[in-house]
Structure formats: structure tokens, C-alpha cells
Amino acid sequence: MAKNLGKEFSKGIIAENPVLRLVLGTCPTLATTTSVESAIGMGLAASIVLICSNIAISALRKVIPDKVRIPAYIVIIASFVTIVQMAVKAFLPALDEQLGVYLPLIVVNCIILGRAEAFASKNPVLASALDGLGMGVGFTAALFVMGAIREILGAGTFYGISIPFLSENPMLIFILPPGGFFTYGLLMAAVNRLAEKKGKPRAELRGCEACPMARNCALNSANKKEEVAE
């Protein structure tokens, strides 16, 4: 039992890292990693929402009707996002300004919705909490590494602390969108290389079919087509 719970936690950090292995949450990953501070802030905010929503959805999984589960998940997630956003605004206004619209957009973060649909809705509370914690740690770690690389090379600082020589000759492209894609690509290549050495499949950009919500989206699209046809 303890071994299984440990596996639920650890898988999100390396084997199923949501950013570098499952390739989810790329929008906030690229947008909020211009500095270490904003990267850690986004990672922690998303982790809190992920853990709390996983616990709530798991606890209510036998009560929520299957037909309305997605709207119910969004309401639960939105409630926790609102609480986190209010707390950040009250105690960390500078971070709130840095994250901007990406903080409330945690509501539709595919990592959180994906874990709700793929795991929390099918597993006990403790396992779901550890799954959320592991995925949150993995998400935050990936953002931290990207944020550190981009801030050090692009601004010549680390967590706002100036680095000799680099601060005088920063490569500004790293804090611009092209630098985000370049850094992300390098990290993906490194992770894929390590995965191949261990005999595991490469992480690939597979489009919507890779998302745990894909089946539900497909059903909705089919229903809409039927309604238009009628």
C-alpha cells in the first residue's frame, strides 16, 4: 500500500512530468518562466489548486452525476482558483501583477482538468492527494528550471540578484517568446534523451488526443454536429 502511494507521488516528478513528459500546460509554462520568481509563483499556485481540487473531486466522485462531471469539476477548480487568487492579491501583489491573466486561467489548465478526469474521479482521496502533490512538484520543478535558465541568460540575474558579467551582457532573446520556445525545446530534447537511455518512449506533441479530456471533447463535438444536421 505504502509503495503504491509512493509511486503515485513520484510519477509526476519524473516519469510522468506534466510539462516535460506529458507535454501539458505549455501556455503558462512558456508565459510565466521569464523569471524564477514568477515561475515558482505559478507552480505553487497551480499545485495548491491541483491538490485541493483532486481531494474534493475524489471525495465527491460517487456523488457527482457522470453527465455533469466536467462542469462540476470546473466549478470546484474555479472555487479553489478564486481563493488562491484572492490570497495572492492580498499578500503578494507584486507576484499577482507578474502572473497577470495566467493566474485566473489556472481554471482551465489542462493539467488540473486532466488529473481530475483521469485520476481523481476514479481513485481514493489519499491517492488523489499524492497524485496532485507529485504532479504539482513536477510542474513547479519544470517551471523553476526553465525560469532559472531564461532569467540567468536573458537578464543576467537569479531571483533578482545580479550575476557578474552576465548582467552586463544579457541575451535578451531568452526572456522573449522565442527564447521560451528554444529553452523548452532544449529541455524536452534532454529529457527525451534520458528516457531513451532508460528504454522509455519519447515525449511527443500529439495534439488533443494526448489530453485526458479528449474523449469528452470528441463526444461534445459529435453532439454539436448532430444538432446542426437536424
List the chain domain ranges.
2-205
The pLDDT score that the predictor gives to residue 76 is 96
* pLDDT tens sequence across 85-128: 999 999 999 999 999 999 999 998 989 999 999 999 999 999 99
Residue 216 predicted with pLDDT over 70: no
Give per-residue pLDDT as tens, 16-54. Answer: 899 998 889 899 999 999 999 999 999 999 999 999 999
Which pLDDT score, from 0 to 100, does residue 228 have?
44
Q: Would you say how long the chain is, in residues? A: 230
